Every structure is written in structure tokens, then in C-alpha cells.
Amino acid sequence: MTKNENNEHISTSMALDDEQRVRILSPGMLVAKRFLRNRLAVIGLLIIVVMFIFSFVGGVISPYGEAQVFKIYDSIEKDFAGAAINNEFQYINAPEESFPAMAKAESILAINKGEDRFVSQDVVYSLIKEGNDFYRIVQYQDVASVISLKGINRFTPVEGETISKEMETAYAKALDTNEKSFDLDGTTYYIINNGKNSSIALAKEISMASKMMFSAYTPDIDLSYDFRFAAEKAMNDQTQTFEVNGITYNMDLDIEDNSAVFYMIDGDEKIEYALASNISINAVNNAFLSIDFKEAIVHAIENGDTSFTMPDNNGVEVEYKINRKNNQFTIRTLTETELINTYAAPSKKHPLGTDGNGMDIITRLMYGGRVSLVIGFVVVIIETIIGVILGGLAGYFGGWVDNLIMRIVDIVYCIPSMPLYIILGSVMEFLSIDPKIRIFILMIILAILGWPGIARMVRGQILSLREQDFMTATEALGISVSRRIFRHLVPNVIPQLTVIGTMNLGGIILTEATLSFLGLGVKYPYASWGNIINAINDTYIMKMYWFVWIPAGLLILFTVLGFNFVGDGLRDAFDPKMKR
């Protein structure tokens, strides 16, 4: 025996019972030395440590959240307004009057047939044509009946009415000039001919039918029935000035565009009041469109232009593009819009870029690693517990207990796992199961289908161990059955359990990644390496945005390799035939 500089003795004895030799050659040290001697096992252990640090520590220090969405501002071409050439009659009802939908349909049939009256629901209506595609819908109220014989007109007033000489004269004059109406004291009377018998009637305004679309200059302007009628009458008669309810209006008519801008005259001032055209224009976001803007759209459509410019509220000229499909038009313009920053290339802010949801990929990989590793370890622990209990009971008791448990193992082996995963995934999707609960259900399903292999291994080991001398001694000492199994038999199986559990971890992570890739596992907003790859659903994204799926694939590859290397290293280290 010698001493070193620190006055510690160093044994030079070759005896097998030397204390230092016994300490160095203890079973734990032997396993550790054999494991550390295996370079691949050490590399695998380092990979696993790095993955744990990356997933659990990286997620804590990351400045971003797991489901944090990043946005940017950009100018994109968006729909601003829609326009359509109106070929349908629009009905405007007189004040306090109604015109049912059935009557509207009957009026269109009468117009198409060229008739001047129609009946709807036992109500007689008359059509008065005021211009091209412009009709008044009225109900005549008789004032008097007229019988004409040899140039002599006999008037019979309706009860409560009187016929004056002026009316008789006006009626006769209208007949001579083939007029269908005449004015008297500011009131228009209509002549309804029925052969030799005629009648004088007043027209009760019900509605008017027109293909013209009116737009007010400001939202607070109410375009009344009287104004619309007078304005369209002025357009047909090309009358520049007209009066409604004591207010004078001026019209700027554009015959080529079939449109007109109306101004209200207030002293010497002309105030823009309304626009009329056969083009219906509406803003996409229900915003109010100015008359100038609508007039520019009408002019561009009538001229066949594909774009036009208009100043915005700040006086900056903005270009608008017109896309046509049949009689429908879409007005689009570049708009400053907040967009989700999807598939952003790697940068200083996002080292691995962003995914299709605008989330930081490296942060998602960190949180996804947590989920994948936790699922792997939890499933291994659950299936190990189930396998040890059932395998231990089957191996120790044998007989009918062994047969029963092994038949259960055979049944579980026969269950087709992938169809079961698909069915359960569809059921959870239909029931809208919370994504967090889905993770726990996934772990339970994987554990239930994974324990039979461990149970068979434990059963085989215990069958060979229960006949050895130390088990006979435990039986002679009267130790309970549970203590024999779990304190004396199972610990002798731990080396094999460690190897199998380590090897299974990689397989479980691959299974979880596969299920999440198929949309049956971990669901958004929670991340796992599998559902990160699942975001790549076509070849274009796979080719152009490699930074989204390759890192997740590499993490799965290295993690599974790491667990397999550790499993192989442990298997070799526990092998008693391993050379020292």
C-alpha cells in the first residue's frame, strides 16, 4: 500500500475482497461505466438533455407566448364598393300607402303586356306611363260619369260631388284634342273612356315604378316620394328646373350616362342634393359614398373604363379599379390593412420565421417539445405500471390467473390501433372536446394499447425468478405475496423495464407526432411537433416554406434517435456478458 501527496492510501492489492476494488466493481458502477463507455449512448443522453432544456427552459425564457399571433400592416387591394346595372323596377310608395308584393308582380305583367290597368286581390290599379321605364300606379276615384250622344255630353256627378261649367268645358276641350287628362284649379282630372260612356276621375297615388336609383348627397337627406317623382319627370322631360313643396331644384343632366345630379336652390347658392342613375352603388362596409364618388363610378362604367381616380379626405388622389362580371361591378383599391404575418422568413425577430397562423415557430417548437415529451413519459409510466402489475400477477400465480391475464393481453393486441385512433379522433371532433382534455385522452389511449408488451416481458422474467432460492427463502419466512412480488421479484426486472421504457419513449413520440399530423392528436392552439408539421398541407408550402416543417421534423428525428441510443446503451450496460 502506498500514499499520495494528499496522504490518501492507494491500494496495490490484487485481492478480490480489497475495499477499493469492491467499491469500483459494484453493480451500479459497472452499469454506469459500461453505459459511459458507449459513445452513442452518451450522445443520445446529451440529445435528450438538450431537448429538455430547449423545451422546458426555452419556453420560459422565450419573449413570446405559445399562441401569440404577430401582425403587420400592408397595402392590399380590397373591395371598396359594388355596383350593378339595374334592370328591375324599383317601387316607391306614396306616403301612408302600401303596395303588396303580389300587386308588384301583377304590375310587371301588365307593363310587359302594354296594359294600363291590372287587378290584384280584387283591387283595381291603373298604370300611368310618365316616361321610359317610369310609371305611376294609381287607383281612380270617379267624380262623374259622362254619356256622349251626337256631340252632347251628359254629366252625372257621383254622390257628394258637383260638376261645374268650367269642368264641362275643360272635359270637352280635352276630348277635342284627344287628351286623357285635363287640369282644373291645380287639380288633374283623368278621362276614362269606355265606349260611349266615360268617366271623370281623380287619381289616388299608390306607388311609382322606375328603374332609376336615387342616392342622397348626405345621410340626413330624406328623398321623398314627391321629389323622386318630380325629379324623374324632369329627367324624362329634360326640364332643367322644377319645384317640389315650394322648394326649387336644378338638374344637371348627363344624357350619355343616363344620370343626373340635382341641386337644391337656396337663394344664390346651389347645394348638391341627390344623384339619379340606372346603376345601383353600395359600399362594401356600409360606409356612406359621396355623390361625387358615385358619379365617377357611373361615368367610368358608362365609358367602359377599368379604373378611375378620386381624391380622398386628405386630398390625395386614389386609384380605383373596376372589375366587371356580366352586369355586376366590383370597385377595388389599395387599402392599408392589418394582416397576420404568415410564413414570414427567418429574421432577427423570428429566428425560424412564422407559421401559417402568424405564430413564432421557434416558440411553438419549444412548447410543442413539452407536450411531446410529457406525453411520452406519462404514457410510458402508465403502461409500465399496468404491465408490471398484471405481468407480475400472471408470472407469480400462474394457472388460471396467468391464462386470464394473457387472454386479455391477446385481445388488446388484436385491437387495430390506427382505426381506433381515427374513430376516437372523429368522435372528439364531433363533440368539440376541449384541446387540453384531448391531450389527456390521447395519453390514456396510448397507454391502454401499449401495456401488453411490458406485461409479457415481466411475466416471462418472473416465471424464471420465482423458482430461485431467494424466493423459496421469502416463502419460508412467511413474507406476504404482495411483498414477494413487488419487493423481491419486480426489482429484479427493473433493468429490463428501464431498457424497454427508454426504447418505447421514442416510439410513443413518433405515434403522437403521426396522430397530430393526421389531425387526431394535439389540437390548436396547443402545439406539438406533429401538428406543427401538419400545417404543411400542400407541396407549394412544403417547397417554399421549408423553415416551417424541417425544424420540427429534425427535432422528432433527433429526440427519437436519442432515446433509442440511450435504450441501446442501457441494454448493453445491463448485459452481464459485457466485457469489463
pLDDT digits (tens, 9 = 90+) for 30-44: 777 887 888 888 998
pLDDT band at 141 (very low <50, low <70, confident <90, very high): confident
What is the arithmetic mean of pLDDT over 79-92?
89
Q: What number is the average pLDDT over the span 504-509?
A: 83
With a cut of 80, say whether residue 537 has pLDDT above it.
no
The grid cell for 292 is 361625387
- The answer to which of 165-169, 376-380, 381-385 has the lowest mean pLDDT is 165-169
At 229, is the pLDDT very low, low, confident or very high (cuts 50, 70, 90)? Answer: very high
The mean pLDDT of 354-373, rounded to a whole number, is: 90
CA 52 to mean position of chain CA atoms: 35
What pLDDT score was predicted for residue 263? 92
**Mean pLDDT within 241-267:** 89
pLDDT band at 579 (very low <50, low <70, confident <90, very high): very low
Give the angle 509-551-72 at the CA atoms, nearest 5°: 120
* Residue 340, Ramachandran bin (φ over 0: left; ψ between -120 and 50: alpha; else beta): beta
Against a cut of 0.75, is the pTM above it? Answer: no
- Name the nearest CA neighbour of 99 among 201, 203, 230, 208: 208
Instruction: Assess contact for 346 and 548: CB atoms under 8 A.
Output: no
Residue among 167, 255, 264 nearest 217 (CA): 264
Who's near 262: CB < 8 A, 6+ residues apart? 231, 249, 250, 251, 252, 273, 274, 275, 276
Question: Mean of the pLDDT values across residues 12-17?
Answer: 51
- pLDDT of 445 reads 87
pLDDT at position 269 is: 87
Task: Identify the burial level of 49 via C-beta atoms within 10 angstroms of its C-beta, where 0-12 means exposed, 13-18 middle and 19 or more buried.
Answer: exposed
* Residues facing residue 198 across a β-bridge: 146, 193
Position 6 scores a pLDDT of 54
CA-atom Rg of the chain in angstroms: 46
**pLDDT of 576:** 54
Domains by residue range for the chain, with CATH: 39-69+349-574 (1.10.3720.10), 90-209 (no CATH), 213-339 (no CATH)
pLDDT at residue 198 in the model: 84
Residue 38 pLDDT? 83
The mean of the pLDDT values for the chain is 83
**Residue 81: exposure state from Cβ atoms within 10 A (0-12, 13-18, ≥19):** buried
Residue 494 has a CB neighbour count (10 Å cut-off) of: 12
- Cell readout for 522 is 394535439
Residues 228-237 have a mean pLDDT of 91
- Give the pLDDT of residue 483: 73
